[in-house]
Structure 1
């Protein structure tokens, strides 16, 4: 009992989130169509923006965007179509120039493919269900980003991710589950979500006492996408074991 009380004391409770009310920009589509992703970067002049298709070199983690960047995603409901939705996703720490450029470049992209697509702005942490579904529910936001062609990313070998499910009042009401890299310290933990911890030698999944069924179900898929081929050790209930917390600050 004392251990649980201490755990709650330094971790605290996750604040309840409001239900999503943001409607999908496209109806009756499950997000299974083809899409491509480009990051917004400065052109050689440094004034105008350009779209740079992401690659394994620039994005080693599958289905992941950096919170310090903005992206443009062209989605089609099926092969052979130029595009039905052009999303422009804006990271929470993306600068004003990148956010503005993402909107302009989304318009330009739509025009270049015929002008028939829906343009939809997406704020980090407020992604609609259709957007999340495009990535099979395993969409992740990473700390860091690229500024003036210089990358700032996590390189110390230890990474902590929080998997959070949000109730959804839009569409069919399917909960929306998102994954976000958080600071790798004990203060980032709570007893309502699921956490994925990668250390230089191990991979762990901690299912907190109050975690939802959606969070528990999607976390292994996220871990597999982020770190393919690695087997995660799964811990249930609260508090997490010392082998988990000892790797955090």
Structure 2
């Protein structure tokens, strides 16, 4: 892999180093000291690094990096966010929070699961959605709504014992699903044991990974009568249970284990576990075993407990220190291939404008690798292999199990957009069409109509000669909605007639105002004649509007469109 940047950046180790890093304590000339001290050739680049001002390229040479300043803060920044209860409203309004927590929403969307059997996908009974097997591969489709659009994440889960043919079948079946859904699927490759937070959350704390291979339609095959399960997590958003070898050395004083024998299921509580962990273990045990439960505290185990594990043995008992949240800066690279070799060119101070439809871009956030595929990119089938090569050749020795996420232009999730300083969700709206929503999907018609209504509303506000209604709308839609003229004028041609009628009806009634009972919680066909269903709140008097929404019309229409839609839904104006 070759690496080029517009600023000094490390590359994969070549025969002779391209960079030498030193600090301000180096005596004499940094170049002279670097070349002479290590016997490096004179053409080797030397970069001076000041303590506390290390570049992202320098920090990524290390497996972990801890900023000195962060230790003096009171649970500031991302460390504090991890312990905050998820608020779906905040995730939608603050994509940077979604990116840091790696959560697109509160995991309340629709979940569908397929298991790879005989190289084909077979649906898994919803009752067993959270039961995965190490010898298999699974497709997990998650459907949710954001900004008035139905969006999708397809997780490609790979068991550690899966064969090469099954992994190949997993990828080909994912491509088939993507075609069925009009190319709208965000695809995330997940390796067993490295599941991202959102993947854990969608199973509501009941994700159990068994060591054997699944049988027909995802059902487990016969297994040993004695089995040991490691329960990790404190709530339904972060709990995962994994089967481990049934021996005493697998235990850990910080956690909870379930020991299933022929006659009883032991709940073993380590000395370091807390009440939240114990509560989740009691939920998980109902998924794993229907046998009699017996609670066992560490140090008070009955003889039969140790007999089932083959006798006593040493196991980790020291208190586990809390994991430090990585603080690496994200890095964006433009990908290309020359003579079969991956070439990366880093984009510094990147923004949405750096994403070109002809390019494939790699965004490294350390915990995940995003590969953004422009709609006109020609080598997108190589993207996953490029991500794997990037991890394999990274100087810091990155884990090959790091999740790799494929993101297509126009379908970016907040976990991707949140890493950009600003993001315009409507920049590529014109690229969306009816065919990009799965044919036959119940949500297809509503999704298209919501987008059409939103774009038509924007067109109404900028249409010349609208009289009073046009002036009010133009004033109201300033700020976040006041993007380029080109974007605002985009929209389906079929919306033209409706827009014209909306203009005249709005002009006729906006000043007088209609009673709130005529507009709230009413079906479109039950609204007074001439009222635009997509803008029904417009027809309230100023006093009623202030009373219902708690703000003036000017304040309301200065908000982002998705925030307006959210409040309208909550108050019965949608």
Q: TM-score, normalised by structure 1?
A: 0.71
- The CA deviation at 1:123 is 1.0
Give per-residue Cα distances to partners, 1:77-134, cap 9 Å, x unaligned. Answer: 26xx976111110011112222232122112212212221211111111111111111
Residues 2-21 of structure 1 correspond to what in structure 2 (within 5 A)? Answer: none
Q: Which secondary structure state, in structure 2, belongs to the residue aligned with residue 235 of structure 1? A: strand
Q: Which secondary structure state, in structure 2, belongs to the residue aligned with residue 157 of structure 1? A: coil
Q: 2 CA distance for matches of 1:39 and 1:24?
A: 28
Unaligned runs of at least 5 residues, structure 1: 1-17, 43-48, 167-173
Q: Is the 1:70–1:91 contact (alpha carbons within 8 Å) kept by the matching residues of 2? A: yes
Work out whether 1:246 is the aligned partner of 2:307. Answer: yes
Q: TM-score, normalised by structure 2?
A: 0.33
**Aligned-residue CA RMSD (Å):** 3.3
Work out whether 1:103 is the aligned partner of 2:171. Answer: yes
Alpha-carbon spacing, 1:235–1:61, altered in 2? closer, same or farther (3 Å): farther
Q: What residue in structure 2 maps to residue 5 of structure 1?
A: none
Q: 2 CA distance for matches of 1:227 and 1:62?
A: 16
Match of 1:227 among 249, 271, 289: 289
Q: What residue in structure 1 maps to residue 182 of structure 2?
A: 114
User: Comparing both chains, which one has the higher relative contact order based on Cα–Cα distances under 8 Å and sequence gaps of 6 or more?
Assistant: 1
User: If each structure's strand is expressed as a fraction of its own residues, which one has the higher value?
Assistant: 1
Q: 2 CA distance for matches of 1:145 and 1:24?
A: 32
Match of 2:254 among 192, 203, 206: 192
Q: 2 CA distance for matches of 1:181 and 1:91?
A: 13
Q: 1 CA distance for matches of 2:170 and 2:284?
A: 27
Q: Which secondary structure state, in structure 2, belongs to the residue aligned with residue 222 of structure 1? A: helix
Between the two proteins, the alignment pairs up a number of residues equal to 210
Q: Is the 1:64–1:141 contact (alpha carbons within 8 Å) kept by the matching residues of 2? A: yes
Work out whether 1:36 is the aligned partner of 2:104. Answer: no
- The CA deviation at 1:53 is 1.2
Match of 2:212 among 124, 136, 144: 144
- The CA deviation at 1:234 is 1.4
Q: Is the 2:231–2:256 contact (alpha carbons within 8 Å) kept by the matching residues of 1? A: yes
Task: Out of 66-75 and 236-245, give the one that drifted further.
Answer: 236-245
Q: What residue in structure 2 maps to residue 75 of structure 1?
A: 142
User: If each structure's helix is expressed as a fraction of its own residues, which one has the higher value?
Assistant: 2
Q: What residue in structure 1 maps to residue 512 of structure 2?
A: none
Give per-residue Cα distances to partners, 1:133-186, cap 9 Å, x unaligned. Answer: 111112111011159x9x9845333221011349xxxxxxx9833211112222
Unaligned runs of at least 5 residues, structure 2: 1-63, 65-78, 83-98, 311-574
Q: What residue in structure 1 maps to residue 551 of structure 2?
A: none
Q: Is the 1:162–1:180 contact (alpha carbons within 8 Å) kept by the matching residues of 2? A: yes
Alpha-carbon spacing, 1:62–1:111, altered in 2? closer, same or farther (3 Å): closer
Q: Which secondary structure state, in structure 2, belongs to the residue aligned with residue 220 of structure 1? A: helix
Q: Which secondary structure state, in structure 2, belongs to the residue aligned with residue 210 of structure 1? A: coil
Q: What residue in structure 2 maps to residue 54 of structure 1?
A: 124
Q: Is the 1:74–1:84 contact (alpha carbons within 8 Å) kept by the matching residues of 2? A: yes
Alpha-carbon spacing, 1:24–1:127, altered in 2? closer, same or farther (3 Å): farther
Q: 2 CA distance for matches of 1:92 and 1:156?
A: 19
Q: Is the 1:76–1:83 contact (alpha carbons within 8 Å) kept by the matching residues of 2? A: yes
Q: Is the 1:164–1:193 contact (alpha carbons within 8 Å) kept by the matching residues of 2? A: yes
Task: Out of 234-243 and 117-126, give the one that drifted further.
Answer: 234-243
Q: Which secondary structure state, in structure 2, belongs to the residue aligned with residue 100 of structure 1? A: helix
